[in-house]
Chains A and B, each alone.
Chain A
Amino acid sequence: MTSPTTIIGLEVHVQLQTRTKIFCGCANRFNPDEPNVQTCPVCLGLPGALPVMNRRALELSVRAGLALSGTIAGLTKWDRKQYYYPDLPKAYQISQYDLPFCQGGHLDIDVEQADGEIESRRVRLIRVHLEEDAGKNLHDESGRGGESRVDLNRAGTPLLEIVSEPDIGSAAEARRYLEEIRLLMVYLGVSDCNMQEGSLRCDANVNLEIPTSENESIRTPIVEVKNLNSFRGVEAALVHEIARQQREFEECGGVYADTAKQTRGWDADRGVTFAQRGKEEASDYRYFPDPDLLPVTFSDEWIELQRAELCEPPSERRRRFVSDLGLSDYDAKVLVDQGRETADYFETLAAACGDTKRAANWVTQDVLRELNERGETIGDFPIDAQGLATLLGMIAAGQLTTRSGREVFTALTDGQGGDGAISERIEKIVEDHGLSAIADSGALETVIDAVISRNEKAAEDFRGGKDAAIGKLIGEVMQEAGGADPNAVREALISRLRP
């Protein structure tokens, strides 16, 4: 018998980065410290208040839908999803029921196989729709049963819901899918996808298909795991849930008392999923078209205008970095996944210095390490791509050794070398640190002569075939010659001693 198949579908919620909320002029900004200050009659759901659709939210939504290769509807409308909860001030959420603005589409993800090979996998989408976010209930966490409070700063934040087909085959794939959605949305400028702030959230539907004989199999009941708010959380929750369903199957022998969809939460601290509601009665949200919002039609011209605003998606960019710029899959992934600005930085650098491999090495190693240590983003990085290109050009020309180049790089990030143009600063740092490579071979010869005459014994040993003896000579030449290129020194010594 073959092993069980995992079936996962994700519902991903993405907060749009509009200036104002979806139906009113209140600021759309994460602000947990001052509850209920970003509110007005509309997002408070006061009697008499009416929603008006935010045009920008529609633009960003349609761009996201296009980037996900979905079909944009000619006509779309908003419906009321009705349920009672304190964080939902109107007691209905304005959402989209049967005419979402976008249907179909897909997202390709790169998945590492068991043999280490990277394989592209397509996750099909069911739909993408635009709705309003709810507020937040704040409960007394002291355990003393104090009053619960409601913060409506978040109420009315535009929220995109991206619903996938159950095409995801493992917890690791689910994580990759979520990472790729995040990257795409950030590339598009649709969302900042800040998971700490809840701009990207996800629910997962998961079950297993377990073969019982050659031709037969049993599907375990679908479980919806709610509120997965980190990449690690998605993966860990699914790993746990898959194992739990397998265990449950073995215990019950595939005979389930209740096959209705179950809702479970994820306890990240204990690393387990837990049943949130017992046997839930089928919820009836009594959807109906919101009479306060007219249906919206998108003309083909308008849709094309939105398409023109799209950027190259991360998956394309990775492919192009490999095929056109000759990068490894690994380097392409590291550069692109850092975000659009970092990838742009790399491309500018590569074009300016003409050596894509060298550019990739410097960005993936030196620049990213430096950013990591500083806790900064590429936008704040003190050396711009042109400046770094100048430095790499000097290394390529042999004016600086790679090691000296690193020292100059560090000095530049520390702000050394004055306020002048980057080339002047580099020159000054090279001088201050005595890093100039001895490009003048005559000067190097002089040093080598001096070192050999001081170390006759070592020179004799090397001539006599004792390779290790050269180390001492190289060390002394390097010390005397300042930023000399160790390879050049080695070669010069060899040609002198073993002509």
Chain B
Amino acid sequence: MTACREPASVLIERLSSGETTSLELTDACLAEIAAHDGSVGAFLHVAGDAARQAAESIDRRRAAGEPLGRLAGLPVAVKDVLVTRDQPTTCGSRMLEGWIPPYDAHTVEKLRDADAVLIGKTNMDEFAMGSTTENSAFGPTRTPWRLDCVAGGSSGGSAAAVSAGFAPLAVGSDTGGSIRQPAAFCGVVGLKPTYGRVSRYGLVAYASSLDQVGPFARDVAGAAMLLEVLAGHDRRDGTSIDQPVPPYHQQLDQPLEGLRIGICSEHFGEGLDQEVREAVERALDVYRGLGAVVVEIELPHARFAVACYYLVAPSEASSNLARYDGIHYGRRADDYDGLVEMYSNSRGSAFGTEVKRRIMLGTYSLSAGYYDAYYLKAQKVRRLIQQDYTQAFLDVDVIASPVTPTPAVRLGQLTDDPLQMYLADTYTISANLAGLPGVSIPAGFSQDGRPIGLQLLADSFAEDRLLRVAAMHERETDWHLATPTLDGDTSS
């Protein structure tokens, strides 16, 4: 097994003890990427030289005994939706092909401050719209476990990068499940923090009231370490909340006494794959074995979540993506006659089908005469969904559910059926509508070797408890230790 398939906490120990260097680790990751990313498609941009230089500089500083950041020397992959100074940021779109941002996202600054080595930008559904990364303008990402199946999305590249051992940690963004769902499809840990926990400054907006940046890792400890770096108040984001960041990583060993887990019958109804159901029930048994109580809870408005999401998110997206007009940056059509045609030809040629579909949906629902019936109504439903959860968390510590109705689907299986694709988000979307933290952890495999995830949701700003509950399961199981064997992989 290559070095970079070890969990982040192990690698950090090896780096600090001198057992390995950041340059060795970075080179090992770059070698894995060179060998296998052609078949996985996790990266849109590999920052080989810059990463090696950063690694060397950190090694030098370590040798000189200088104080180093919390992720010192550790390679981290970043979803291409976070802007990076002097490195391309495309959001998986032709629209931003070749655009080099003049600034770093807040989370990218935090990674640099923590002395992480930014190894590259990962593939994603165009502007984070999609559940399979097939909507990337630059080709799909496949789950390293089954190269005929998708990695999930929209943060498919980040999930696959961690799963394949291209990087021990990766950063993604989650608007309706875009971290948790690919984490499940790729068999890694992925966490969506509470809305406002992590700054959105420099996160290219899809749906501003739902978007949140979060970590991917091989295990819960890695996710906790990365979240500690990413989280915290930022004055440049008006929705960022000023609350101290707990030492998530140090609290993981403490089980939650008297743990109460809520389950909702709606999450186990029609459309749920049998193997996924069994995996979730097995996980619940693990918790019961640890003394937890599993109780039924009511989420009366959960069934409206998908409909609500597909009004709120496209509405905001239609506005957020209006700025890509070919005037100031990004793609401008070659041929046009006059201003209006410059707009329509630039947008018409550079946006993909799904992006156009959501822009049209959102434009429609914000239009005069429809606003009240669609956008405003959806906002009211959203409040009801939030209230359901507030009520539920009076009784339970976490809510457990499947992450997705099925394990990873085959490439092309859903691309012609957008409605089916939207329904695949049914378990993850509510957390975004309610602003709650959620985590996806490895909980098994289908018989044909596709990973299955367990989703845990907690109350706002209860990431500490969420991670502790996740760690309880991880200590009792070894799903997170399994690694995929990539075609032609000679190093394992």
Q: Does B315 contact A (CB under 8 A)?
A: yes
Would A89 and B328 count as touching, CB distance under 8 A? Answer: yes
Interface of B toward A, CB cutoff 8 Å = 82-83, 89, 91, 96, 99, 101-103, 105, 200-205, 207-209, 235-239, 315-316, 318-319, 322-323, 325, 327-329, 339, 343, 363, 366-368, 371, 375
24 pairs, A vs B, C-beta closer than 8 Å:
A41-B102, A45-B323, A46-B103, A47-B96, A47-B99, A47-B101, A48-B205, A52-B238, A80-B319, A90-B322, A90-B323, A91-B323, A92-B319, A92-B322, A284-B367, A284-B368, A286-B363, A286-B367, A286-B371, A288-B315, A292-B205, A292-B237, A294-B238, A294-B239
Q: Does A375 contact B (CB under 8 A)?
A: no
Shortest Cβ gap from A94 to chain B (Å):
11
Q: Roughly how many angstroms separate A49 CA and B106 CA in the complex, as a whole number? A: 10
Contacts of A286 in B (CB 8 A): 318-319, 363, 366-368, 371
Residues of A within 8 A of B319 (CB): 80, 82, 92, 286, 288
User: Chain B interface mostly helix, strand, loop or mixed?
Assistant: loop
Contacting residues, chain B, for A91 (C-beta < 8 A) = 322-323, 325
Closest to B339 in A: A86
- What are the residues of chain A within 8 A of B89 when measuring CB–CB? 47
Q: A291: CB under 8 A from chain B?
A: yes
* B327/A293 in contact, CB under 8 A: no
- Chain B residue numbers with a CB within 8 Å of A52 are 235-238
Contact B238 A89 (CB under 8 A): no
**Chain A nearest Cβ from B231, distance in angstroms:** 17
Least Cβ distance of B376 to chain A in Å? 9
Is residue A239 within 8 Å, beta carbon to beta carbon, of the partner chain? no
Do A292 and B368 touch (CB < 8 A)? no
Q: Are A53 and B238 in contact (CB under 8 A)?
A: yes
Of all chain B residues, the one with the shortest Cβ separation from A292 is: B208
B328 near A44 (CB under 8 angstroms)? Answer: yes
Known: A41-B103, A89-B328, A150-B327. A48 touches B202 (CB 8 A): yes
Encode contact with B along A46-64: 1 for CB under 8 Å, 0 otherwise: 1111111100000000000
Q: How far is the CA of A7 from the CA of B239 in the complex (A)?
A: 44
Q: Is the interface of A mostly helix, strand, loop or mixed?
A: loop
How many A-B residue pairs lie within 8 Å, measured between CB atoms? 95
Is B366 within 8 A of A50, CB to CB?
Answer: no
Residues of A within 8 A of B (CB): 41, 44-53, 80, 82, 84, 86, 89-92, 150, 284, 286-288, 291-294
- 7 closest A-B pairs (Cβ-Cβ)? A91-B322, A291-B209, A291-B208, A286-B366, A48-B202, A47-B204, A48-B83
Q: Indicate whether A46 sits within 8 Å of B101 (C-beta atoms), given known contacts A288-B375, A291-B208.
A: yes
A residues near B343, Cβ cutoff 8 Å = 84
Q: Please name the residue on chain A nearest to B104 by beta carbon.
A: A48
Q: How far is the CA of A348 from the CA of B367 in the complex (A)?
A: 58
Contacts beyond the supplied A46-B329, A47-B99, A92-B322: 11 A-B pairs with Cβ under 8 Å: A48-B201, A52-B235, A82-B319, A82-B366, A86-B339, A286-B363, A288-B371, A288-B375, A291-B208, A292-B238, A292-B239
Q: How far is the CA of A291 from the CA of B375 in the complex (A)?
A: 13
Bound CA span A445–B327, Å: 88
Complex: how many Å from CA A295 to CA B416?
A: 40
**A50 partner residues in chain B, CB cutoff 8 A:** 200-201, 236-238
Min CB gap A437→B, angstroms: 68
A287 to chain B, nearest CB (A): 8
B339 touching A89 by the CB < 8 A rule? no
Distance in angstroms between the alpha carbons of A86 and B208 in the assembled complex: 23
Q: Report whether A293 and B102 are in contact in the complex, using a CB–CB cutoff of 8 Å.
A: no
- Bound-state Cα–Cα, A291 to B322, Å: 15
B311 to chain A, nearest CB (A): 11
CA distance A52 to B96 in the complex (A): 25
Give every chain B residue within 8 A of A51 (Cβ-Cβ). 238
